Structure formats: structure tokens, C-alpha cells
């Protein structure tokens, strides 16, 4: 039985106690418990600011932004400048960024470069965009060819959006960590394949992604 129904039945009990001449103390205790249950229910259904922010960015309902740890991580790195070989908030490249996501959010250490992440034995590659799920890696190169070296990697978020660190300037006018739309150019032309990698974590929300 969920909290809402528990609260409802508790109020029924309170009314019954009052109508049957229940003690004042019992009535007060029941009312206090009802208030606590109502507060707990409100907290359970509360939408966090970060859910509102990234729900708007991704074009989805805020409640669908359910992997809070992931979006808190992204929010910390957003607008960090792009730097080839960089691995700090002063500058970071694409594969260091995806490596950090997998390590810090999911607890899995993946390969250092985009090409190695693509070629790794545990990367389950596929081309069908309908199979994309949050947490998949997306691989690119200038020709969109699997026969050329992979030069860029991003992390799929859902609803055609992915987060990455890129030297290309986005809508904000800056480069670095940003959220882009996969079906827009140049990403549509440069897309090679996506890849699923195993995730190891104690974070149950992330584990189910």
C-alpha cells in the first residue's frame, strides 16, 4: 500500500476515533502521524531544480530525469572548455569526459581514447538509433566511416540528445562540454555507431540505465 492510501486510511481512523469518543491524546498522535506521512509523500513526489533544468534542455518531463547522480555530474562539468588531452575543469577532451562519467557515476573504468573505447571487446556496437538508451556511447569521425579512426565520442542522454566535450562551438558560442542533438549536422553526418558498455556501480538508479 503506497503512502497516499496509508494517509487516507489514517484520516479515516482519526474520524472514527473522534466519532466514537476516542481519547484526545490518541487523536493528537494520529493527526501528527498523518502530517508526517503527508510531508513524506510531498518529498517523494517533489521535483528537484536539476530535474526541471535538464528536463527542459532534453525536452522531456522533469520526472523522467531520474538518474540524479548523472545529471549532477554533467551539471558540474557543463561549459568546461575543450582541451585536447585535458582532464580538469580548466579543459577536457571528449574521451576523458566519457571516461570520467563511467568512473564517477557508474564505477567502471573504461579506455582512455575514443578509438580505444570503440574497439574495446566489451563495447557492444550497433548502428540502429532506435536502440539508443541513456548511457550508450556515440562514436564519430569526419567521414562517418567505421573503417576510419574514431576521433570523437559522446554520451547519450535520451530524446536525441547527447553530452560531450567538443572543440566545435555550440549554440552558446563556446566549445567544450555541452549537450547536442544527434540528428542535427554535423553530428548526423559524422555518426559512425553507438556502443553499449557494462556499468558497475552501487548507485541503483544508474545501474538500471
Q: For residues 65 and 71, what is the distance between their CA atoms, to the nearest angstrom?
A: 8
**Residue 126 pairs with which residues in a beta bridge?**
194
Q: Dihedral of the CA atoms 171, 174, 176, 177 (nearest 10)?
A: -50
- Of 168, 187, 164, 196, the C-alpha closest to 93 is 164
Q: Which residues are catalytic?
A: 94, 152, 164
Distances (CA, A) of 165 to 94, 100, 182, 197: 5, 12, 14, 19
- Of 136, 170, 132, the C-alpha closest to 153 is 136
C-alpha cell at 113: 581514447
**Residue 161 pairs with which residues in a beta bridge?**
158, 181
Is there a cis peptide before residue 74, judged by omega within 30 degrees of 0? no
Segments in 46-167 forming alpha helices (H): 49-58, 68-77, 94-101, 114-119
Amino acid at each position: 500500500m503506497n503512502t497516499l492510501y496509508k494517509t487516507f486510511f489514517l484520516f479515516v481512523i482519526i474520524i472514527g476515533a473522534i466519532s466514537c469518543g476516542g481519547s484526545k491524546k490518541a487523536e493528537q498522535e494520529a493527526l501528527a502521524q498523518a502530517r508526517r506521512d503527508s510531508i513524506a509523500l510531498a518529498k517523494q513526489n517533489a521535483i528537484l531544480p536539476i530535474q526541471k533544468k535538464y528536463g527542459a534542455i532534453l525536452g522531456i518531463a522533469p520526472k523522467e530525469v531520474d538518474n540524479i547522480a548523472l545529471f549532477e555530474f554533467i551539471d558540474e562539468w557543463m561549459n568546461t572548455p575543450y582541451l585536447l588531452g585535458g582532464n580538469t575543469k580548466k579543459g577536457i577532451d571528449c574521451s576523458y569526459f566519457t571516461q570520467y562519467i563511467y568512473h564517477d557515476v557508474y564505477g567502471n573504468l573504461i579506455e582512455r581514447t575514443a578509438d580505444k573505447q570503440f574497439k574495446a571487446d566489451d563495447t557492444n556496437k550497433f548502428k540502429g538509433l532506435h536502440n539508443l538508451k541513456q548511457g550508450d556511447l556515440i562514436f564519430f569521425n569526419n567521414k562517418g566511416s567505421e573503417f576510419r579512426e574514431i576521433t570523437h565520442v559522446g554520451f547519450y542522454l535520451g530524446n536525441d540528445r547527447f553530452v560531450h566535450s567538443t572543440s566545435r562551438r555550440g549554440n552558446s558560442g563556446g566549445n567544450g562540454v555541452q549537450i547536442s542533438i544527434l540528428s542535427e549536422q554535423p553530428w548526423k553526418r559524422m555518426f559512425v555507431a553507438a556502443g553499449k558498455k557494462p556499468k558497475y556501480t552501487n548507485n541503483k538508479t544508474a545501474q538500471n540505465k
